Amino acid sequence: MQIYLNENLSAYHTFGIQQSCQVLVVVDTVAELMDVYRRPEWQSLPKIVLGKGSNVLFTEFYQGVVIINRLRGIDVREDENHYFLHVQGGEDWPELVKWSVSQQLPGLENLAMIPGCAGSAPIQNIGAYGIEFQDVCDYVDYLCLKTFQVIRLSRAECSFGYRDSIFKHRLYQQAVVVGIGLKLAKAWQPHLKYGPLQQLAGNCSPTEVFDCICDIRTRKLPDPKQVGNAGSFFKNPVLTEAQFQTLAANYPDVVSYPASSGVKVAAGWLIDQCGLKGFQIGGAAIHEQQALVLINCQHATASDVIRLATHVYRCVHEKYGVALEHEVRFIGRSSEVYLDMWLKEQQS
């Protein structure tokens, strides 16, 4: 375990914005993780666990303990029909996908290059190109912060939804994901319904799908190592059928996809049609090629990013009547905060 006081967080989250915390701890085992939560001197302090810090924005000095998950290890077994992977929570997700393809363990290729660690994947139910984490999930192991026991949830028990799971609701701040189980079918079939993937032949290989997605993401999305960002900043809004029909009547070119509870509208399209690509406030800007990505282009502050996100929200809402919800987590002085709370404060 490594402990740092008043540590600069810019190296621990992909936005790369200057912000600090009271205590930062790097843990390599579940035992060390338990120790952090049990230590008397830290009992009263708020705590947050980060893997790669790819989905967070620290809005101000964090008066608590930031825990960096470095739990590592991958185990593989198989039966007649499936490969089963047990992956420790601190494993890098993009590297896991790359490794699985190289090992001829197909099924994860559509989720290539999604930044973050394995432990974050079920919390967010990450997804891309027609596949979500829930589609490959067998189980999730978490450390219960009440009993300090490791508990296993089946896929059904995780209550997965669009960028949603039980870890955002009943188990919010009560659990830390320490491992995941993946179930990959040996009778692999490609998922080619989205975007440029439709150009691939039905008999393509997992490697060809992986390479295609990596090429798309490399061309369209900025590398966080080069330009600070947290990937897709806003969720794609899900509208009721009636809401969508009203929107489509006025904007027939709106990009949409079927969803279990209605129609999913492409947030990037809404933002792009507002003419916001490249728009900048302070050191934060909307990416020139992907309107869904907000970037740290010139030593942005957290305030720059929040003001830019607010501007995007207002423009989209005024033009389309659609309220965007941010996918990136805002971490305040002692807890998670939300853009709508900030908006209400500005209006009061």
Question: What single-letter amino acid sits at 198?
Answer: Q
Q: How far apart are the first and last CA of the chain?
A: 45
Q: Looking at residue 20, what is its pLDDT?
A: 97
Count, in order, helices (H) and strands (E) of the chain: 8, 21
For the cut 90, the answer to whether the pLDDT of residue 80 exceeds it is yes
pLDDT in tens, 16-35: 999 999 999 999 999 999 99
Q: Are 212 and 109 in contact (CB under 8 A)?
A: no
pLDDT in tens, 140-164: 999 999 999 999 999 999 999 989 9
For the cut 90, the answer to whether the pLDDT of residue 246 exceeds it is yes
pTM: 0.91
Q: How confident is the model at residue 198 (pLDDT cuts 50, 70, 90)?
A: confident
**Same-domain check for residues 212 and 103:** yes
Domain termination site, one of 15, 45, 69:
69
Q: How confident is the model at residue 257 (pLDDT cuts 50, 70, 90)?
A: confident
Q: Looking at residue 118, what is its pLDDT?
A: 98
For the cut 70, the answer to whether the pLDDT of residue 344 exceeds it is no
**Same-domain check for residues 172 and 298:** no
For the cut 70, the answer to whether the pLDDT of residue 52 exceeds it is yes
User: Which tokens sit at 31?
Assistant: 């035992």
For the cut 70, the answer to whether the pLDDT of residue 250 exceeds it is yes
The radius of gyration of the chain from alpha carbons, rounded to an integer in Å, stands at 20
Q: How confident is the model at residue 346 (pLDDT cuts 50, 70, 90)?
A: low
Q: How confident is the model at residue 194 (pLDDT cuts 50, 70, 90)?
A: confident
Residues in the chain, overall count? 348
Residue 280: which of 308, 309, 315 has the closest Cα? 308
Mean pLDDT of the chain: 94
For the cut 90, the answer to whether the pLDDT of residue 210 exceeds it is yes
Q: What positions carry a catalytic annotation?
A: 163, 232, 327
Pairing of strands 238-239, 256-259: unpaired
**Same-domain check for residues 79 and 211:** yes
Q: Are 21 and 66 in contact (CB under 8 A)?
A: yes
pLDDT in tens, 61-76: 999 999 999 999 999 9
**Same-domain check for residues 136 and 257:** no
Q: Looking at residue 195, what is its pLDDT?
A: 75
**Same-domain check for residues 272 and 236:** yes
**Same-domain check for residues 171 and 253:** no
**Same-domain check for residues 157 and 292:** no
Angle at 239 between CA 339 and CA 318, to 5 degrees: 55
Question: How many independent structural domains does the chain possess?
Answer: 3
Where is average pLDDT lowest: 48-57, 254-263, 265-274?
Answer: 254-263
For the cut 80, the answer to whether the pLDDT of residue 42 exceeds it is yes
**Same-domain check for residues 168 and 277:** no
CA distance 29 to 70: 8
Q: How confident is the model at residue 173 (pLDDT cuts 50, 70, 90)?
A: very high
For the cut 80, the answer to whether the pLDDT of residue 241 exceeds it is yes
**Same-domain check for residues 125 and 14:** no
Domain termination site, one of 38, 69, 100:
69
Supply the CATH number for residue 100's domain. 3.30.465.10
**Same-domain check for residues 228 and 291:** yes
User: Which tokens sit at 168?
Assistant: 């955002």
Pairing of strands 137-144, 175-185: antiparallel
Q: Looking at residue 338, what is its pLDDT?
A: 85
Q: Are 17 and 301 in contact (CB under 8 A)?
A: yes
Work out the angle between the directed axes of helices 206-220 and 93-102 (0-180°, nearest 10): 150
**Same-domain check for residues 93 and 47:** no
CA distance 254 to 256: 6
pLDDT in tens, 102-134: 999 999 999 999 999 999 999 999 999 989 999
Q: What is the mean pLDDT of residues 218-232?
A: 91
Domain termination site, one of 27, 49, 69:
69
Q: Looking at residue 348, what is its pLDDT?
A: 52
pLDDT in tens, 318-341: 999 999 999 999 999 999 888 877
**Same-domain check for residues 96 and 150:** yes
- Give residue 299's domain range: 224-347
Question: What single-letter amino acid sits at 347?
Answer: Q
3-state SS, residue 260? coil
For the cut 90, the answer to whether the pLDDT of residue 225 exceeds it is no
Strand partners, 49: 67
Q: Looking at residue 332, what is its pLDDT?
A: 92
Residue 322: which of 278, 253, 272, 265 has the closest Cα? 265
